[in-house]
A and B are shown apart, each in its own frame.
Chain A
C-alpha cells in the first residue's frame, strides 16, 4: 500500500512536467491548429541555456528568469521568421518544418554542449518533512511550479486585455482583426509563451532525468498524450490530462511489477513506458479525438 501511494505521488510529480509540456502544446494548437513536434527540443535547448548561465555563476532563479525571456523571444522569432511565410501551406509542409526545427535544435545542443549527460541542480532545498518518505522536495516543487504556471496563465488570459486579444485572435481571427487586434502578433505571442512554458518544464525536469539532448523525446510524447487525454483545445483539461497520464504511467509500471511478483508473468514494466504512451495516444485519437474536456470541432466542407 505504501508503495502504491509512493508511486502515485511520483506519478503526480512527473505528471506536473507532462502538464507543462501539454500546456505549451495546447497554446500553439489553439492559436494555429498545429501540433508542434519541435516543442520538446525547444525546451531542451532552453534548459541548456539555463544550465550554461548557472555554470557561469548565476544563481538558479535569475538564470531561469533570463532563460524564460530568451525562450520567449526565440519562440516569437521562430513564428515570425519561419512559420509566418507558410501561413497557407499544406499540413505536410508544416510538419516537415517542425521536424526540421527539431533536428536543428537537437543537433545544435549536441554541437554546442556535447552529448555527455550533465547534472542539473534542483532549485529546491533538500529538506525532510512529514511525508517525505513518499515524495521528495523537488517533486513537490515541480508540482507547485506547474500549478503556479497554470494559474498565472489562467489569470493572464482571463483578466488582461492582451490575454483577451489573444483568445479572440485564436477563436475568430477575422472578427478579431476587424476590431483592431493584431492577429499576426498574437500568434507570435502564443509561440513565445509556449516556448517560455516549455523552458520552465525543461528546467524542472532536468534535475530528474539529467540534461542531455535526448531528454525531452519521451516527455514530449507523454505531453502529447496528456494534452490529448484532456482535450487539445482546453488548457485546464490538458493540465489535468498531464497529471493523469503521469499517474497512469507509474500505476502501469506498479501493477506490472505486482503481476510479475504474484504470478511470475512479466507483462509490462519500465521498459514499456513509451509503448504505453503510444497506446494511450492512439486509443484517445481513435475513440475520442476531442479528449475528455475538449470541444468537438465541426468543419464546413
Chain B
C-alpha cells in the first residue's frame, strides 16, 4: 500500500518531465523548420502562411478559452476584439509608420481596455444574457468599422492594405517564413503566460468563480473585478491574434470580421475543449483547416453520398458543434485525456 502511494507521485513526475522534454523538442523543431527547408521550396511560402494562421487562431481560441472555459463567461462576440486588434495594427502601420512588432503590445493594451470596459456592464449578465450581449456585438461590428467619422482612419469599406515585413539581419528567410517564426514565438510566450496565470492564485480564483460564483465571493474573491479583468485579458489575447492576422494577411476590411469569425473562434474552442490549453492549439488548427479545406471536403462528401444538394462548410460546422456537445463535451482535448486515462488504468484495478 505504502509502496504505491510513494511511487505514484514519482511516476507522475517522470511523465511530466517526459511531456515537457517532448514539448520543447517539438517547439524547437517547429522553430528550425524554416531554416531547414530554407528557400528550397520544399515547404512553400503558402504553407508557412497557413501554419502561421493556424497558430494565430490558436491564440484567439486560447483567449476565448480563458474567458469561457476557465471563467465561465460565454462570448459569441470575440470576433469584435479580433477586429479591434487587427485594425489597431493596421492603422498604426499605415498612418503612423510604426514598426510592425510594436503594434502587438499596442493592440494588446487597447484590446485589454476595450475588453475590460465591455466586461463592466457584462458583469451583471450571465449565461444566456451575456451570450446575447456579445451576439449583438458580433453582429454590429462590421457596421461600427464603417462608421463615417472613423473613415479617415479605417478607410471605410475599402479596408487597409499592408506590406508583409521582410526578414531582418539578412536572415536567409522569406517574409512568410520570418512571420511564421514571429507568430510562433509570440504564441509560445502567450501560452506560457496563460499556463502560469492559471497555475497561480488569480487563476484558481478564476476557476472558482466559474464553478460557483457565490461561493467564490463568500471566500473573499472580488468576483466582479476578476470577471471584468478576465474579460480584458481574454480580449487582449484575441486582440494580439488579430494584430498578427492583419500583419501576415496584409489586409483588413470590415467584412473580414463578420459574425462568422466569432463563430469560428467559438467552434475552435468547443472542438478543442474549452477548459484546456492544448485544446486551444487543436481548436486553432481546426479553424484554419475548416476554412481552407471545408469547401473541397464538403464537395467530395456531397459526391460520395450522392446528396441532391450542395453541402456547405457551415453545415459541417453546425453538425460538428452539435455532435461534439453530445459525444465529447470536453472537446477533442478532453476526449483524448479521458481515453488516455482509461488506457493507463491498470487492468486489475
A and B from one assembly? Answer: yes
Interface residues of A, Cβ cutoff 8 Å to B: 33-35, 37, 82, 85-86, 89, 91-97, 99-108, 110-112, 217-218, 221, 224, 228, 266, 269, 271-275, 277-278, 281-282, 285-286, 289, 301
Subset of 27 A-B contacts with CB under 8 Å: A34-B128, A82-B322, A89-B325, A91-B127, A91-B128, A92-B68, A92-B74, A95-B76, A97-B321, A99-B263, A99-B266, A99-B318, A100-B325, A101-B318, A101-B322, A108-B315, A111-B312, A111-B315, A218-B139, A224-B132, A274-B136, A278-B139, A281-B133, A281-B136, A282-B133, A285-B121, A289-B129
- Interface segment, B39-47, B81-89, B104-112, B141-149? B141-149
Contacts known (A34-B128, A99-B263, A111-B310); A274 close to B322, Cβ less than 8 A:
no
Q: Does B249 contact A (CB under 8 A)?
A: no
Q: Give the contacting residue for B143; candidates A37, A266, A273; CB below 8 A.
A: A273
Q: Give the contacting residue for B148; candidates A35, A105, A110, A271; CB below 8 A.
A: A271
Q: Does B252 contact A (CB under 8 A)?
A: no
Fill in one digit per residue for B39-65: 1 if any A CB lies within 8 Å of its CB, else 0.
000000000000000000000000000
Residue of B nearest to A274 (CB): B140
Interchain CA distance A35-B126 in the complex, whole Å: 12
Interchain CA distance A73-B313 in the complex, whole Å: 26
Interface residues of B, Cβ cutoff 8 Å to A: 68, 74, 76, 121, 124-125, 127-129, 131-133, 135-137, 139-140, 143-144, 146-149, 214, 259, 263, 266, 270, 274, 309-315, 317-322, 325-326, 329
A96 to B140, Cβ gap below 8 A? Answer: no
Q: Which chain A residues border B320 with CB–CB below 8 Å?
A: 100
Interchain CA distance A106-B68 in the complex, whole Å: 25
Q: Which chain B residues border A274 with CB–CB below 8 Å?
A: 136, 139-140, 143
Q: Which chain A residues border B133 with CB–CB below 8 Å?
A: 281-282, 285
Q: Which chain B residues border A93 with CB–CB below 8 Å?
A: 325, 329
Residue of A nearest to B274 (CB): A92
Beyond contacts A104-B319, A285-B125: 18 other A-B pairs, Cβ-Cβ < 8 A, are A85-B326, A92-B274, A99-B263, A104-B315, A107-B314, A107-B318, A108-B309, A111-B312, A111-B315, A224-B132, A271-B143, A272-B143, A274-B136, A275-B147, A277-B140, A278-B140, A281-B136, A285-B129
A95 to B136, Cβ gap below 8 A? Answer: no
Residue of A nearest to B324 (CB): A96
Contacts known (A217-B139, A272-B147); A285 close to B132, Cβ less than 8 A:
yes
The 10 closest A-B pairs by CB, nearest first: A107-B314, A104-B318, A100-B321, A103-B318, A107-B312, A91-B127, A278-B136, A274-B140, A100-B318, A100-B322
Interchain CA distance A102-B262 in the complex, whole Å: 13
Interchain CA distance A177-B259 in the complex, whole Å: 41
B30 to chain A, nearest CB (A): 31
